[in-house]
Amino acid sequence: SQQGEEDPQALSIQEGENATMNCSYKTSINNLQWYRQNSGRGLVHLILIRSNEREKHSGRLRVTLDTSKKSSSLLITASRAADTASYFCATTSGGSYIPTFGRGTSLIVHP
């Protein structure tokens, strides 16, 4: 069963705009990861954030984690058409370190 749930399910923006997607989860986590999936391809890891961290950056990506609200957000700044993809959050929680994936956010960036 899904632990993390992404919101929105779909997002359509213009090139140059920022894209923000959120992940909410139900139980306390060990860590949370974000992945990208281009159409017809496998998933690619973007960022891992641990439960004791609040923010991480990687290039144009910024991930925040609010454990009190049980939520995380992924911000893509100055989006490009090449950012068009589905984005998934994956959480590990409790005694299990096996990642559980959400249903994903489909992002379309129009040139």
Partner 1 sequence: NAGVTQTPKFQVLKTGQSMTLQCAQDMNHEYMSWYRQDPGMGLRLIHYSVGAGITDQGEVPNGYNVSRSTTEDFPLRLLSAAPSQTSVYFCASSYSRSGAGELFFGEGSRLTVL
What's the gap between Cα 91 and its chain centre? 10
Residue 46 contacts residue 34 (beta carbons within 8 Å): yes
Is position 99 an interface residue for partner 1 (rule: CB under 8 A)?
A: yes
Given the structure tokens 């986590």, which residue do they identify? 29
Question: For partner 1, which residue of 73, 74, 88, 109 counts as binding (CB under 8 A)?
Answer: 88
The Cα–Cα gap between 4 and 13 comes to: 23
Minimum distance from residue 17 beta carbon to partner 1 (Å): 26
42 is a site residue for partner 1 (CB under 8 A): yes
List residues near partner 1 by CB under 8 A: 1-2, 30-31, 33, 35, 40-45, 48, 88, 90, 92, 97-104
